[in-house]
Structure 1
Amino acid sequence: MNKTEILAVCRHPEILQTIIRLINNNPEWNGTGATDEHQAMVLFTARPFDVVLMGSGMDAISADKIKPACRAINPLVKFIQHYGGGSGLLTAEIYGALTPPKPSPKHRA
């Protein structure tokens, strides 16, 4: 079984370490961490990732640098902005990004 590869980008090393630990607690996921845009892009070009999780300290300007470059390599990559809030929220955010949206019910006239 292939694991979902998750690249977490967070400017705060202590928070990043916690995020990676929480990601890797799930046997279906493999987390790798980066502390800035440059490191994230080096990792993203070196191996495939399914999800990029933007953590603490990563603002819209940082995301605007990373997203187009990642999508040029993998158009299907999912992006998550994680604001903190504990392991339950992190897990829900990741599962939410990985779960395809449900089709809306057809309305009858």
Structure 2
Amino acid sequence: MKKIHVLVVGKNEAIVELLTRLVNKYPELMAQGTCLLEEIPSLCHSNTIDVLLLSSGLSLDQENQISNTMTQLNPNLKTIEHFGGGSGLLLSELNQALGIPLG
């Protein structure tokens, strides 16, 4: 089974690391995370990103720029804006975006 690649982007390193770890606990998913916007292109070239998970700290302009760039690379990209609420909410957001039950 092909893994679903998730890119976690936010400004708070601890939160990005936590979200990446939480996403990676699901065997169907493979997550990478970054707080450095300039790293995004290289992360996208190593794997096709299926899901963009936006975390806190990004400006609206940054979110739009990231989303637009990523959608050009993958028109079928799913974008999730996750700004907290715990791992249960994250699972629900992932399930809804992907249309499959995880875990």
Length-normalised TM-score, structure 2: 0.89
Equivalent residues of 1:41, 1:66 under 8 A apart: no
What secondary structure does 2:85 align onto?
coil
**Offset of 1:18 from its aligned partner?**
0.6
Equivalent residues of 1:8, 1:32 under 8 A apart: yes
Distance 1:74 1:58 in 2: 21
1:88 is matched with which residue?
A: 88
**Offset of 1:49 from its aligned partner?**
0.8
Length-normalised TM-score, structure 1: 0.84
**Offset of 1:42 from its aligned partner?**
2.4
Q: Percent identity?
A: 33
1:56 is matched by which residue type in structure 2?
Answer: S
> Is the counterpart of residue 25 in structure 1 residue 25 in structure 2?
yes
1:107 is matched with which residue?
A: none
Distance 1:65 1:44 in 2: 14
What secondary structure does 1:68 align onto?
helix
**Offset of 1:27 from its aligned partner?**
1.0
2:3 is matched by which residue type in structure 1?
Answer: K
Structure 1 stretches of 5 or more lacking a match? 101-109
Distance 2:47 2:30 in 1: 12
1:61 is matched with which residue?
A: 61
What secondary structure does 1:11 align onto?
coil
2:44 is matched with which residue?
A: 44
Structure 2 stretches of 5 or more lacking a match? none
Distance 1:47 1:25 in 2: 19
Equivalent residues of 1:50, 1:78 under 8 A apart: yes
1:16 is matched with which residue?
A: 16
| Structure of greater Rg | 1
